[in-house]
Structure 1
Amino acid sequence: MIKSFLAAGAACFALCSSAAFGAEKPDLAIYGRLPQFEGVTISPDGSKLALILTDGEERLLAIRTLNGQTLAGVKAAKTKLRGVLWAGEDHVVMLSTQTANVFGLSGPAREYMMAVDFNLVTRKQSLLLRSQPESMNVILDRPMVRTVDGQPVVFVEGIHFFDNTGVNTLFRINLKDGATRMLDGGVRMDTDGWLVDAAGEPVAQSLYDGKKGRWSLRMKIGSSWKTVDEADSPMGSYGLSGFGRDGKSVLVWRTDDENNSILREYRGVGAHEDLPGDLDLSGLLHDPDSLGLLGGYTLKGDDLAYTFFDPVSQRAWDSVTKAFKGDRVSLASWSKNRRRVVVHVDSAVDGPAYALIDLDTKRASWLGEIYRGLSAEAVSPVRPVKYKAADGLEITGYLTLPKGRDPKNLPLIVLPHGGPEGRDSPGFDWWSQALASRGYAVLQPNFRGSEGFGWDFVKAGFGEWGRKMQTDLSDGVRDLAKQGIVDPKRVCVVGASYGGYAALAGATLDRGVYRCAVSVAGPSDLKKMLLSVRDAHNGSMSAAQRYWLRFMGADGIKDPDLAAISPARLADKVEIPILLIHGKDDTVVRYDQSQIMADALKKAGKPVAFVTLDGEDHWLSRGATRLKMLSETVAFVEKHNPPE
């Protein structure tokens, strides 16, 4: 693809390719540093773009016209800028997070989100929810922007304290004058979500009792709030999924009595309708003006499919995808009238980029490639794979092959995903591409328990944490070896989060398959991990604990079976070198999980290396530490499993 970049102007970031290839292999920084584009959002009238840019480490918000003229820029410095949204044409709300211990709150450090309004006219920044009595200046979910009397108004879920207890509370903020008002929906200690209609009126409230594992939905009917549905949901709240087809009904993804996923549309007490199950949507699309449901999208096999209820809208989207034949196209942002569309284009040849489509002029233009310095020579081919697990269950996944090498007798890296109820999908993956660039084949298996393959496939993972979920990985190794694609004597396992656990389990529970293992933020002592989750929820059983216990097959934190699948309790069985990498600010899998594993391995006299990523979280959000993780991983596998 030919990619033309928007002019950088006063943004102070050069978007041209600057990384040089080595004599034989691409620079690891091409993959490991932060992508130069982290997001593109178009303004409501379609005349401006808000771009999150990086120089590989620090982030910048740039506001530009469609022809590339820079209107404003805001340096995010060390802030983890997570996203932006337009509030009218003159305001951009910036969303960022940071890890912190808050004075007066018990428990470990948490990741908090904050919202800042940037006024394009005055160039001033204003922290939302600042100076609110008995409230924190953090937000709990993505703000809802509405236009009321011609002015942009932002509704945010914040934390207000009643009797020393923090409660999810809805606030209304007029961006014109900054006036902030706490809305009275009735103090409900278990509130976990709100929905505000296009006119700026709160109309729905989701509640979840974590101790009982019970969810309920309240809607405003006339002038009063009424409970319209409730259900047991031990794995967590159903929450709210936006408005229905008329822009007034309320949508909730929930399960029926047989645990089938359904999308239910509520109109009031006793008035609801389940959308047809054959829609098979994993994500929803709402009109940016009316807020009504337009359709949705899902991954069907290896193809990303968008479905619109309206044939005119479907034809418009189909015309967008036709402009990038052979590439995977997904919606990033669109104008209020949906005539100007920003898309994410993933090319199997050139890698990912952003593009702008004008449906009125029928013109498409490139905004820029996402990874600086990435050329076709640095993108390895990816192909879908299928194989049978030992018990006959079909497992799918993706195999990245090193470019320019004959796919025979290759060294292999198994790269399991996190979750565990996540999944790998087709398209550019910076980590697997980096490993393939060093000469490795990379297998990303969607082991049992992964989402996106039906409820029965998810259920097949219950009780199989460290068991069949683990052997699903090594069954893939054996299948590739049987085909002659990989050398079974040259295999390592690398992963993050649950994938990090799988790497440690490959060294302790499913031995004899791997030559080395790299765990990034992986759990090692399951009982202590569950206890840390309990401590974060003030000593009560949380949905997260129940979610993990379901896959672990344990009755509770004290279940002795947890020790049997905890790598730290099995350190004496390790026969291969292990590298542990962990961010010091990880609030999902705490840093001490790698400390525990390192200590157990040292005590058992086993080979281990431990790399600490200072200031890093669970998601590898910082450029320098992300690149350090990748560099340390590559050096380790090259040492213990040479690619040549």
Structure 2
Amino acid sequence: MLPVEAFASIPSIDHITLSPDGTLLSMVQRFNTDKEQLVLVKLFNLADGKSRFLVKADSRDLNILSLSWANNDQLLMRGAYASSRYGTPVIETRLLKIDIHSGKSENVIPRQFLSKLVRVPQFQSNIVDDLPDDPKHILLAVDGLTDKLSTAVVKINLDGELTQLLVTGRENLIDWVADRQHQPRIAIFHQRTTYQIKERDAATNDYRLLWEFEALSADEIWPIGFGKAANQLYVSAYHQGRRAIFLVDLNDPQLKLELVMSDENYDVPASMQYSAAKQKVIGLGGRYIDEEYVKLQRSLDTALPEYSNEIISSSQDESLMLVLSSSDSHPGQYLLWDRKEKNMSSLLERYSQLPPDLMAEKTKVSYQARDGLAIEGWLTLPQASTGKNLPTIVFPHGGPISFDDGGFDYWTQFFANRGYAVLQMNFRGSSGYGFDFMQAGLKNWGLQMQDDVEDGTRWLIKQGVSDPKRICIVGASYGGYAALMGVIKTPELYRCVASFAPVTDLQQLVSDSKSFTNYKVVQKQLGDDDVDLELRSPVNFVTDIQVPVLLVHGTKDRTVRVKHSRQMAALLKKSGKDVEYIELEQGDHYLSTNQHRLQTFQALDQFLQRHLTQSGQ
């Protein structure tokens, strides 16, 4: 059994990327002492092996979202931090430029420009176009030029010279897509539950409506990106009930959707890869479509046959490539592929404290819900187990419009390493399974979505995998909600419940969204009937909970506010229930620091040992 610390450690290296000339690696590294929890931007020279640090920050204050090269001399760092606006807790983002020679870092938006705005934008990191042929400029989407939501596009000079207002915003305009000629071309508007996708004419600044649809409807058409030709736009829309990728010629008055990629069983991810070196679209939906890159991927998979291999970065001429190779039982290693020299060398392990030979494998499973709907999931069994009569963790995912897949998961590996079987299920409402499946989750929290979780638990018992007296339900965010509802609806089924950052009060969740532009969309997802929301909120049913409860929540959680757990814990204690409540000081929704992961996993380890160690206790 590995120590808890091995699983509680955030990857020591993350956001690794190659400089355009292929001589340097930038990366984010974390360093912790008893007094400090640091996040650092590190530079590594591939020629001489020397490294140095450029940025140092407290990881409790700053979450680095991404790191990219603007040119061979400057890095762009997207960061997020917890803040408050007009009394409402929010997340703010910023985009910093880092001079790799001096180590100096500053906001890419000059103070002089910010001082002219009506209000300081909450989000300042949305790059519309990185302008690969113009390494000293980027196009950035910026709100705040007026007192209403109206997102403009500015051309930022990375040397600190004049910032140019390229396109003024319009009311309810929230985002932009640039074409390959570097014009902000597609404007996305949002009001209440309605979205409009419009095309902007650069010459006249006129806008043409392309599509209008309701949020979460079958009519959704979302722009992905442009091909090389000026009027080739790739979009994500539904085809026979599954998300697919289409190509649209914007010159066509009918805007006919030409099907490019679909899957009869699953949604195709709305993603695109474009090679600036080759000046063409090379990948769609998470896989290559260009024959040259199909062969590259085939070469990778032949060299590393038991792994999922992804090219995550490359030099400008694509002669050097960074590869992340991982599997369900391998947390991932970074490799450098020199295509000219035709060799590949190992650089770094993503989780250095988790030996792959001690990790468990995932098995894809399927079971029927009580109404006959097929539910897919993943079963992880401890190494060297018989696969029968095991203490078990039922582990529904968060979101809930999300999904679990067959990739590496440090939570699951932690449980399996402790001797527990783990079931993850993609209950109705999960993404990836088409329109009807996702739609079935609307206003369904605590109802059929919850039944799918329960049916998975009963399926495990019927299969003989689980000891029915030693099952604990564990979850985070929506999964934490589902965990609590599980022990409320079927107290006889679970021996304990552990919930991280759970939603406990649906009324409160809807009410808290009133300050945000997605308020009506949240109502569409959860419902707007207060009585109905009360009947589906764990906080109103604490007296029905008959098993021990572990609650963990961060004080700076901006996704699900800490008051959800505070109120739940207080009511459980008042009712005399067995509850342990841990509050993570300055903790967020994602366990972004080593200290908070360790604190949470230590509590989980002790809690599960107490309640799942012996049958019948």
The change in CA–CA distance for 1:463 and 1:101 in structure 2 (over 3 A counts) is closer
Aligned to 1:375: 355
Aligned to 1:116: 96
Deviation track 1:291-339 (CA, whole Å, cap 9, x = no partner) reads 74322245xxxxxxx231x222211221122221111122322233333
Aligned to 1:485: 465
Rounded to whole Å, the distance in 2 between the matches of 1:527 and 1:354 is 45
Deviation at 1:530, TM superposition (A): 0.5
Residue identity opposite 1:154 in structure 2: I
Instruction: Give the conservation status (yes or no) of the 8 Å contact 1:525–1:567.
Output: yes
Residue identity opposite 1:545 in structure 2: Q
Unaligned runs of 5+ in 1: 1-24, 299-305
Deviation at 1:526, TM superposition (A): 0.5
Of residues 196, 204, 210 in structure 2, which corresponds to 1:215? 196
Deviation track 1:329-377 (CA, whole Å, cap 9, x = no partner) reads 2232223333332222113454311122223322111121111222134
The change in CA–CA distance for 1:246 and 1:360 in structure 2 (over 3 A counts) is farther
Deviation at 1:635, TM superposition (A): 1.3
The change in CA–CA distance for 1:563 and 1:272 in structure 2 (over 3 A counts) is same
Instruction: Give the conservation status (yes or no) of the 8 Å contact 1:471–1:510.
Output: no
Rounded to whole Å, the distance in 1 between the matches of 2:87 and 2:248 is 38
Q: Give the length in aligned residue pairs.
A: 597
Deviation at 1:605, TM superposition (A): 2.5
- Counterpart check, 1:543 vs 2:531: no
Q: SS at the partner of 1:423?
A: coil
- Counterpart check, 1:34 vs 2:7: no
Deviation at 1:95, TM superposition (A): 0.9
Aligned to 2:595: 624
Aligned to 1:11: none
Rounded to whole Å, the distance in 1 between the matches of 2:512 and 2:212 is 28
Aligned to 1:327: 307
The change in CA–CA distance for 1:290 and 1:111 in structure 2 (over 3 A counts) is farther
Aligned to 1:9: none
Instruction: Give the conservation status (yes or no) of the 8 Å contact 2:553–2:582.
Output: yes
Rounded to whole Å, the distance in 2 between the matches of 1:479 and 1:450 is 19
Rounded to whole Å, the distance in 1 between the matches of 2:228 and 2:572 is 56
Rounded to whole Å, the distance in 1 between the matches of 2:230 and 2:47 is 34
The change in CA–CA distance for 1:496 and 1:426 in structure 2 (over 3 A counts) is same
Aligned to 1:534: 514
Rounded to whole Å, the distance in 1 between the matches of 2:211 and 2:394 is 42
The change in CA–CA distance for 1:234 and 1:107 in structure 2 (over 3 A counts) is farther
Deviation at 1:196, TM superposition (A): 3.0
Deviation at 1:527, TM superposition (A): 0.9
Q: SS at the partner of 1:495?
A: strand
The change in CA–CA distance for 1:256 and 1:479 in structure 2 (over 3 A counts) is closer
Aligned to 1:225: 206
TM-score w.r.t. length of structure 1: 0.86
The change in CA–CA distance for 1:378 and 1:179 in structure 2 (over 3 A counts) is farther
Instruction: Give the conservation status (yes or no) of the 8 Å contact 1:61–1:75.
Output: yes
The change in CA–CA distance for 1:518 and 1:454 in structure 2 (over 3 A counts) is same
Instruction: Give the conservation status (yes or no) of the 8 Å contact 2:555–2:583.
Output: yes
- Counterpart check, 1:158 vs 2:139: no
Residue identity opposite 2:24 in structure 1: K
Instruction: Give the conservation status (yes or no) of the 8 Å contact 1:580–1:598.
Output: yes
Deviation at 1:592, TM superposition (A): 0.9
Rounded to whole Å, the distance in 2 between the matches of 1:148 and 1:336 is 9
The change in CA–CA distance for 1:358 and 1:544 in structure 2 (over 3 A counts) is farther
The change in CA–CA distance for 1:150 and 1:535 in structure 2 (over 3 A counts) is closer
Instruction: Give the conservation status (yes or no) of the 8 Å contact 2:238–2:435.
Output: no
The change in CA–CA distance for 1:358 and 1:259 in structure 2 (over 3 A counts) is closer
The change in CA–CA distance for 1:207 and 1:565 in structure 2 (over 3 A counts) is same
The change in CA–CA distance for 1:408 and 1:346 in structure 2 (over 3 A counts) is same
- Counterpart check, 1:82 vs 2:70: no
Residue identity opposite 1:202 in structure 2: P
Instruction: Give the conservation status (yes or no) of the 8 Å contact 1:448–1:458.
Output: yes
Aligned to 1:465: 445
Q: SS at the partner of 1:182?
A: strand
Of residues 307, 319, 327 in structure 1, which corresponds to 2:288? 307
- Of 164-173 and 588-597, deviating more is 164-173
Deviation track 1:527-584 (CA, whole Å, cap 9, x = no partner) reads 11100111344xx8432332x22xxxx3x1x342212211111111111111111111
Aligned to 2:153: 170
How do residues 140-539 of structure 1 correspond to structure 2 at under 5 angstroms? 140-147=124-131, 150-162=134-146, 164-185=147-168, 187-209=169-191, 211=192, 213-220=194-201, 222-235=203-216, 240-244=223-227, 246=229, 249-255=232-238, 263-268=246-251, 270=253, 272-276=255-259, 278-280=261-263, 281-282=268-269, 283-289=271-277, 292-298=280-286, 306-308=287-289, 310-537=290-517
Deviation at 1:93, TM superposition (A): 0.4
Rounded to whole Å, the distance in 1 between the matches of 2:273 and 2:477 is 30
Rounded to whole Å, the distance in 2 between the matches of 1:198 and 1:47 is 27
Aligned to 1:20: none
Rounded to whole Å, the distance in 2 between the matches of 1:613 and 1:317 is 43
Deviation at 1:392, TM superposition (A): 1.8
How do residues 595-610 of structure 1 correspond to structure 2 at under 5 angstroms? 595-610=566-581
Rounded to whole Å, the distance in 2 between the matches of 1:43 and 1:272 is 39
Instruction: Give the conservation status (yes or no) of the 8 Å contact 1:208–1:216.
Output: no
Q: What's the % identity of the aligned pairs? A: 28
The change in CA–CA distance for 1:49 and 1:465 in structure 2 (over 3 A counts) is same
- Of 191-200 and 614-623, deviating more is 191-200
- Of 429-438 and 189-198, deviating more is 189-198
Deviation at 1:415, TM superposition (A): 0.9
Deviation track 1:47-103 (CA, whole Å, cap 9, x = no partner) reads 32211122364222122233463354223321211111111211110111100124x
Aligned to 1:13: none
Q: SS at the partner of 1:351?
A: coil
Residue identity opposite 1:473 in structure 2: V
Deviation at 1:36, TM superposition (A): 0.9
Rounded to whole Å, the distance in 1 between the matches of 2:258 and 2:288 is 14
Rounded to whole Å, the distance in 2 between the matches of 1:312 and 1:262 is 21
Residue identity opposite 2:366 in structure 1: K
The change in CA–CA distance for 1:243 and 1:84 in structure 2 (over 3 A counts) is same
Deviation track 1:33-57 (CA, whole Å, cap 9, x = no partner) reads 2111222112223332211122364
Rounded to whole Å, the distance in 1 between the matches of 2:122 and 2:21 is 29
Instruction: Give the conservation status (yes or no) of the 8 Å contact 2:180–2:229.
Output: no
Residue identity opposite 1:491 in structure 2: I
Instruction: Give the conservation status (yes or no) of the 8 Å contact 1:146–1:152.
Output: no
Q: SS at the partner of 1:425?
A: coil
Rounded to whole Å, the distance in 1 between the matches of 2:614 and 2:156 is 57
Rounded to whole Å, the distance in 1 between the matches of 2:250 and 2:21 is 31
Aligned to 1:21: none
Residue identity opposite 1:101 in structure 2: S
Q: SS at the partner of 1:229?
A: strand
The change in CA–CA distance for 1:455 and 1:72 in structure 2 (over 3 A counts) is same
Residue identity opposite 1:220 in structure 2: D
